Amino acid sequence: MTPQPGESAARVGPPADIKAVPVHHPGRWLAAVVVLVLAAMLAHSLVTNPRFEWNVVWSYFLSGRVLAGLRVTILLTVVCMAIGIVLGVILAVMRLSENPLLSGSSWVYIWFFRGTPVLVQLLVWFNLAFLYPKISFGVPFGPSWLTGNANSLITPLTAAILGLGLNEGAYMAEIVRAGILSVEHGQSEAAQALGMSRAMTLRRIILPQAMRVIIPPTGNETISMLKTSSLASVITVTELLYAVQLIYSVNFKTIPLLIVASIWYLIVTSVLTVIQYYVERHYARGSARELPPTPRQRIWRYLTTFHTPPPAPVLAPPGTERR
């Protein structure tokens, strides 16, 4: 006899959970023990090895010269990434253009700047005065209005910004291009069918959707830029690494000062990671049915809700399954 649909209402509450003996994982326990022992060894050495000289580390950690270096590092990262992103968008759009001259020149730019080491590019910008002692602005092949000495125009900091920024543009171009290509073709068709121009379609429809693909690698690039900016030390820009180098070249506290720099790099990287999480969340609008909670919301929810078990799945009463 098949029960009538109405009968199932009489059932009280969800059925009891299945009780079973769980599978054992001895390998996991072994791995945990190994990791813990290694971590203990590392911690022990950090604390007991006097050559780490933690007192020196902390005495320089907030010193004026280190903080000044940190400021230059952050400035370089922000300015060079800004140049890189703007250049990257322009180069990516050029690369995807139907005009062969535009896409060709974009291709050559990317080929050149990706194909030579960034350290070499920095050195070339730094030594630009050998190549062009005078820099002037004016009509091409015609009169010039403004002429300057390359040595005074290209300071170490400008050389670093130019070198790192222009190089970054080549990498960002490929990231932005990948993002644009990831947006379905139907999107630009729908926009064009509504009478939107190509530029408006790119700005309003394509780029906002491409952002979801562009943001994660851009976060990566920013963190990478933070560390690559230390290369500017070879052209005498007193960023974080060069600042501590200048200190330890006098007092020979090499390792403690390198630890100071490393801790600062780690701190800034952590901050950038948090920023990236929120930017990604912003551009996830519409891609998921519901936005993921922020860490703060997650903690808040954990603190304010009692640990109620998740609602039992609604089971169709026997005999009424859909065929």
Partner 1 sequence: MVLAEGVYKSFGRLEVLRGIDLTVQRQEVVCIIGPSGSGKSTLLRCINHLEKINAGRLSVDGELVGYREQAGRLHELREREVSAKRAEIGMVFQQFNLFPHMTVLDNVIEAPTRVKKIPRSEAVELAGQLLDQTGMKEKSSAYPKQLSGGQQQRVAIARALAMRPKLMLFDEPTSALDPELVGEVLAVMRDLATSGMTMVVVTHEMGFAREVGDTLIFMDDGVVVETGRPQQVLASPEHERTRAFLSKVL
Least distance to partner 1, CB of residue 221, Å:
23
Are residues 126 and 235 in contact, defined by beta-carbon separation less than 8 angstroms? Answer: yes
**Nearest CB to partner 1, comparing residues 34 and 181:** 181
Stretch that binds partner 1, among 150-158, 263-271, 286-294, 303-311 (CB under 8 A): 286-294
Alpha-carbon distance 272 to 226, whole Å? 10
**According to CB under 8 A, which one of 50, 143, 195, 313 is a site residue for partner 1?**
195
- 317 phi/psi in degrees, rounded to 5: -60, 145
Alpha-carbon distance 235 to 160, whole Å? 8
Q: Which of residues 152-191 bind partner 1 (CB under 8 A)?
A: 184, 186-187, 189-191
Alpha-carbon distance 129 to 168, whole Å? 23
DSSP for 130-143 reads HH-SEEEEESTTS-
The residue among 189, 213, 212 whose CA lies nearest residue 201 is: 189
**217 scored as a contact of partner 1 (CB under 8 A):** no
Q: Which of residues 71-90 bind partner 1 (CB under 8 A)?
A: none
**According to CB under 8 A, which one of 96, 135, 196, 279 is a site residue for partner 1?**
196
Bridge partners of residue 146, in order along the sequence: 137
**Nearest CB to partner 1, comparing residues 99 and 308:** 99
Task: Centre a 10 Å sphere on the Cβ of residue 200 and count the other Cβ atoms it contains.
Answer: 14
**Nearest CB to partner 1, comparing residues 282 and 301:** 282
**Nearest CB to partner 1, comparing residues 277 and 283:** 283
Are residues 8 and 321 in contact, defined by beta-carbon separation less than 8 angstroms? Answer: no
Number of residues that bind partner 1 (CB under 8 A): 24
Are residues 215 and 243 in contact, defined by beta-carbon separation less than 8 angstroms? Answer: no
**233 scored as a contact of partner 1 (CB under 8 A):** no
- 138 phi/psi in degrees, rounded to 5: 175, -160
Least distance to partner 1, CB of residue 322, Å:
13
**Nearest CB to partner 1, comparing residues 135 and 196:** 196
**281 scored as a contact of partner 1 (CB under 8 A):** no
**Nearest CB to partner 1, comparing residues 8 and 192:** 192
DSSP for 240-306 reads HHHHHHHHHHHH--HHHHHHHHHHHHHHHHHHHHHHHHHHHHHHTTTTSSSPPPPHHHHHHHHHHS-
Stretch that binds partner 1, among 17-25, 55-63, 273-281, 285-293 (CB under 8 A): 285-293
Least distance to partner 1, CB of residue 283, Å:
8
**Nearest CB to partner 1, comparing residues 147 and 197:** 197
- Tell me which residues touch partner 1 (CB under 8 A): 184, 186-187, 189-198, 200, 204-205, 208-209, 283, 285-289
